[in-house]
Amino acid sequence: MIAAISLAIAAFLVAFLVLPVASVVYTAFATGDGGFTFSHFESFFRISLMRESFWNSLWVAGLSVAFASLIAVPLAYFTVRFRFRGALLIQTLGVLPLVMPPFVGAVAMQLLFGRSGSVNLLLNQWFGFSVPFMDGLNGVIFVETLHYFPFILLNLTVAMQNIDGAMEESAHNLGASGWRLFWRIVFPLAMPGYVAGASLVFVKVFDDLGTPLVLGVTNMLAPQAYLRITSVGIEDPIGYVISVIMVVFSVGALWMSARILKGRDYSTLQRGGTSLAKRRLTRGQAVLAYGWIGLVLLLVLSPHLGILAMSLSKVWSFSVLPEGFTLAHYETVFTQSSRMIGNTLLYCGLAAFIDVALGTAIAYIILRTRLPGRELLDWTASAALAIPGVVLAIGYLRFFRGIELPFSDSAFTATWVALMVAYAVRRLPYALRSCMAALQQLHVSLEEAAENLGATKAASIRRIVVPLMAGGMLAGFVTSFITAAVELSATIVLSSSASTAPLSYGIYLYMQSIAGRGPGSALGVIAVVIVGLGTYASYRLSNRSDPWTR
Partner 1 sequence: MMKKLVVAIAAIVPSVLMADTVTVVTSFPKELTEAYKKAYEKKYPNDKVEILNKGTPAGMAYVREQAAGSRPEIFWASAPDAFEVLASEKLLAKVDPGVSGIPEKVGSYPINDPEGFFRGQALAGYGLMWNTRYLQAHKLPAPKEWADLVKPVYHGHVATSSPSRSGTTHLTFETILQGEGWDRGWNQILQIAGNCAAITERSFGVPDGVQNGQFGIGLVVDFFGLAAKNSGFPVEFAYPSVTAIVPANIALIAGAKTPEAGKRFVQFTLSEEGQQLLLDPKISRLPVLPATYAKAPAGYPNPFGGKIQAKVNFDSNLSESRYYVVSSLFDQVITFRHKELAAATKAIQEAEKRLGGKASKDLDEAKRLAWMPPLGEAQAKDKELLAAFKAKKGDTAAVAKKTQVEEEWNSKAKANYARAVELANAAK
Give the residues lining the site for partner 1 (CB under 8 A).
46, 48, 110-111, 114-117, 135-136, 216-219, 227, 230-234, 314-319, 324, 336, 342, 346, 349-350, 353, 409-410, 496-499, 509-510, 512-516
Q: Which of 416, 358, 425 has the alpha carbon at shortest distance from 387?
A: 425
Q: Cα separation of 61 and 188, whole Å?
A: 23
Q: How far is the CB of 473 from partner 1 (least distance, A)?
A: 13
Q: Which is nearer to partner 1, 33 or 409 (CB)?
A: 409
Q: Cα separation of 381 and 428, whole Å?
A: 7
Q: Which is nearer to partner 1, 342 or 467 (CB)?
A: 342
Other CB atoms within 10 Å distance of the CB of residue 523: 31
Q: Which is nearer to partner 1, 52 or 546 (CB)?
A: 52
Q: Cα separation of 59 and 12, whole Å?
A: 37
Give the DSSP letter string of 198-209. HHHHHHHHHH--
Q: How far is the CB of 195 from partner 1 (least distance, A)?
A: 34
Q: Cβ-count burial of 392 within 10 angstroms (0-12 exposed, 13-18 middle, 19+ buried)?
A: buried
Q: Which is nearer to partner 1, 128 or 372 (CB)?
A: 128
Q: What angle do CA 539, 478, 155 make, to 5 degrees?
A: 55
Q: Which is nearer to partner 1, 150 or 237 (CB)?
A: 237
Q: How far is the CB of 48 from partner 1 (least distance, A)?
A: 8
Q: Which is nearer to partner 1, 185 or 215 (CB)?
A: 215
Q: How far is the CB of 340 from partner 1 (least distance, A)?
A: 11
Q: How far is the CB of 151 from partner 1 (least distance, A)?
A: 28
Q: Cα separation of 7 and 352, whole Å?
A: 21
Q: How far is the CB of 229 from partner 1 (least distance, A)?
A: 9
Q: Which is nearer to partner 1, 213 or 254 (CB)?
A: 213
Q: How far is the CB of 224 from partner 1 (least distance, A)?
A: 11
Q: Cα separation of 409 and 540, whole Å?
A: 44
With contact defined as beta carbons under 8 Å apart, do 129 and 52 qualify? no
**Amino acid at residue number 427:** R
Q: Cα separation of 257 and 152, whole Å?
A: 13
Q: Cα separation of 30 and 396, whole Å?
A: 18
